Amino acid sequence: MKKMLFVFNPHSGKGQISSCLLEICDIFTKGGYEVTVHPTQAKNDGCNYITGRWEDFDVIVCSGGDGTLNETIKAMMTTGCKKPLGYIPAGTMNDFASTLGISKDMHEAAKMIVESEPVAVDIGSFNDEYFTYIAAFGVFTAVSYGTDQQLKNSLGVLAYIIEAVRGYQQEINKSYHMTIKYDDVEIEDDFLFGMIANSVSVGGIKGLAGNDVWLDDGIFEGLFIRAPKNFAEVQQTLTALIKHDLSAESLYYFKTGEVRITCDTAVPWTVDGEYGGDRKEVLVKNCHCAVNIISGENTVTGETKE
């Protein structure tokens, strides 16, 4: 029998895995795996456990939210582990799982791991850390993860915009004067928000990183929102976001495999939905096809690749 390491966060998604853990393990066992189960005990426990044990297994599987997946990816990147990675989403957003077409139903996701093949996907390096699908800062980072999911389901991107407008007056003074360098381009401006992403879905909303997103092309999508000078510019920016008009004057949108961002003051970043530290300088690089993730389809965008 092949050996599987199954690491899960017992608290993700209000502990929903507790009701189906036995069934998941049964699916893995019937699929021909000898399963070792490890419930995480604290932050970074999953990363540390995988780092010390990965060589003993044929497949690594994790279950939890974006933070749990990030810990697993970090362990695999730092150790050079190329074993297939299975993911059972159990968090609130599960953006990366959505992009890969991984089922939100835990039983179906477990069956997918047993029956499907891995696809190679890009991973981001963020200074001395790694991210799976997004590194971001600014006013909208809390909005995307704090907006009620039912509201998002009914209103889509409008829910995101509604929450952004609510928080605008409080956050408008938190813009950052930055210099962004990628390829042969240099941009200097005041920014209210910025993100480097590799996902069709961001914060539960599709299209914020553009529609032409591929997870295996060695390229990330960058979106930076210039700080508005008046309320008219606020309205123009919100309208552009609603229409997914990434060519709007208030938006800087680009694609690159490497970008350096500097600021005079330390900027608090969010990495895969978790706090990523306060940093004056950030170097983001694309690690091309660095991890093999088991997906339900032969996809890299959530749509079948021809």
Dump pLDDT digits (tens) for 113-154. Answer: 999 999 999 999 999 899 999 999 987 665 555 555 455 545
- pLDDT over threshold 90, residue 101: no
Alpha-carbon dihedral of residues 33, 39, 45, 49, nearest 10 degrees? Answer: -30
- DSSP annotation of 135: E
Q: Comparing 266 with 160, which gets the higher pLDDT?
A: 266
pTM of the predicted model as reported, rounded to 2 decimal places: 0.85
d(CA 288, CA 256) in angstroms, rounded, equals 12
The reported pLDDT for the residue numbered 305 is 40
d(CA 87, CA 55) in angstroms, rounded, equals 18
Range of 16-20, 39-43, 143-147, 244-248 with top mean pLDDT: 39-43
pLDDT (tens digit per residue) in 157-209: 455 555 555 555 555 567 899 999 999 999 999 998 899 999 887 766 677 77
Q: Determine the 3-state secondary structure of 208 from DSSP.
A: coil
Q: Determine the 3-state secondary structure of 43 from DSSP.
A: coil
Which segment of 63-77, 133-147, 262-276 scores lowest on mean pLDDT? Answer: 133-147
Q: Comparing 238 with 270, which gets the higher pLDDT?
A: 270
Question: In which band, very low, low, confident or very high, does the pLDDT at 215 lie, cut at 50, 70 and 90?
Answer: very high
pLDDT (tens digit per residue) in 1-37: 899 999 999 988 778 888 999 999 999 999 999 999 9
Arithmetic mean of pLDDT, 286-301: 80
Arithmetic mean of pLDDT, 59-84: 94
Burial of 305 (0-12, 13-18, 19+ CB in 10 A): exposed
Long-range contacts of 125-128 (CB under 8 A, 24+ apart): 125/77, 125/283, 125/284, 125/285, 125/287, 126/269, 126/271, 126/276, 126/282, 126/283, 126/284, 127/279, 127/281, 127/282, 127/283
> What size, in residues, is the chain?
306
In order of start, what are the domains of the chain with their CATH numbers?
2-116 (3.40.50.10330), 130-287 (2.60.200.40)
274-294/201-202 β-pairing: unpaired
The reported pLDDT for the residue numbered 66 is 82
